[in-house]
Amino acid sequence: MPRKRPTRSSANRYVDEASMKELDQIRAPLYRELEKLSKETSYQAGKDSHLCCTRKYNQMRISPLEARSIAIAFRENPELRRGLPAVLDRLEESLKGLSDNGERQSFDCPLLEKGKCMVHNIAKPVGCLAWHPRQYSDPEGEYGFTGKGWTAFASRDGLNDKYLGPDWKLRVIPLWLKRVFSREVNYRARSAEAGGTGARRNRGGKNRGRN
């Protein structure tokens, strides 16, 4: 009997599941490293632990599969889903200062809420997991990536090649969020143009969430 050919959506689901599982495997040692380091009293040395998520220090770029992982987290986690309108408000602000290219650029991360990373235990990008104060990473800088981080970058890049081919791009986080939340972003833009409910909701949430 001929085998049933997978439909496009079942093939996409397979790619999503397989790539996300492999991405989790790449992140796992970094989560363990972060947990271990953050137990040391000198780890942050009095610094705000998410200082690096704000414009002054932040130029973090991520890959398309890391962005997809964030989108899936928002789709599947009700608490995150409830926070999405505020993320979109912050995203709109972040995008104003960015050019749409693959360059490093400074930005306030829209996923920083009340001083915490919204996707910390779920879908944190590899670079964010591997970025540590210099005594644990780059001896030349204030902060830097650990050896485990560099290994994870190589694996992450190979994973994106494997599932997306060689033409994918690293982009700063807001530029990838704009893409993975394009439906929501476009809906809000259309609603704002029409002066409809999206615009009203947007105005209501304008001042929330920037910390």
Among the listed ranges 73-81, 88-96, 107-115, 201-209, the one in contact with ligand SF4 (CB under 6 A) is 107-115
Please report, as residue ranges, which positions from 25 to 54 form the binding site for ligand SF4 (by CB under 6 A): 50, 53
CA 125 to chain centre: 5
19, 58, 146, 160: residue in contact with ligand SF4 (rule CB under 6 A)? 58
67, 80, 91, 111: residue in contact with ligand SF4 (rule CB under 6 A)? 111
- The verdict on 112 binding ligand SF4 (CB under 6 A) reads yes
C-alpha gyration radius of the chain = 18
- The verdict on 170 binding ligand SF4 (CB under 6 A) reads no
Q: Are 144 and 137 in contact (CB under 8 A)?
A: yes
Q: Is 76 exposed, middle or buried (0-12, 13-18, 19+ CB in 10 A)?
A: exposed
Least separation, in Å, of the C-beta of 191 and ligand SF4?
26
109, 126, 152, 159: residue in contact with ligand SF4 (rule CB under 6 A)? 109
Closest CA to 20 of 62, 61, 64, 78: 64
Q: Which two tokens stand for residue 70?
A: 């964030």
- The verdict on 175 binding ligand SF4 (CB under 6 A) reads no
In terms of CB distance, is 86 or 112 closer to ligand SF4? 112
Please report, as residue ranges, which positions from 113 to 132 form the binding site for ligand SF4 (by CB under 6 A): 117, 119, 124-125, 128
- The verdict on 137 binding ligand SF4 (CB under 6 A) reads no
In terms of CB distance, is 77 or 191 closer to ligand SF4? 77
Q: Between 78-96 and 182-194, two packed helices, what is the crossing angle to 10 degrees?
A: 70
Q: Which residues are paired to 61 by β-bridges?
A: 172
Least separation, in Å, of the C-beta of 162 and ligand SF4?
23
Q: How far is CA 21 from CA 15, 33, 46, in A?
A: 10, 19, 35
Q: Which two tokens stand for residue 152?
A: 């994870």
Q: Where are the beta strands (DSSP E) in the chain?
A: 61-62, 112-113, 116-117, 131-133, 143-145, 171-172
Q: Which residues bind ligand SF4 (CB under 6 A)?
A: 50, 53, 58, 60, 109, 111-112, 117, 119, 124-125, 128, 173
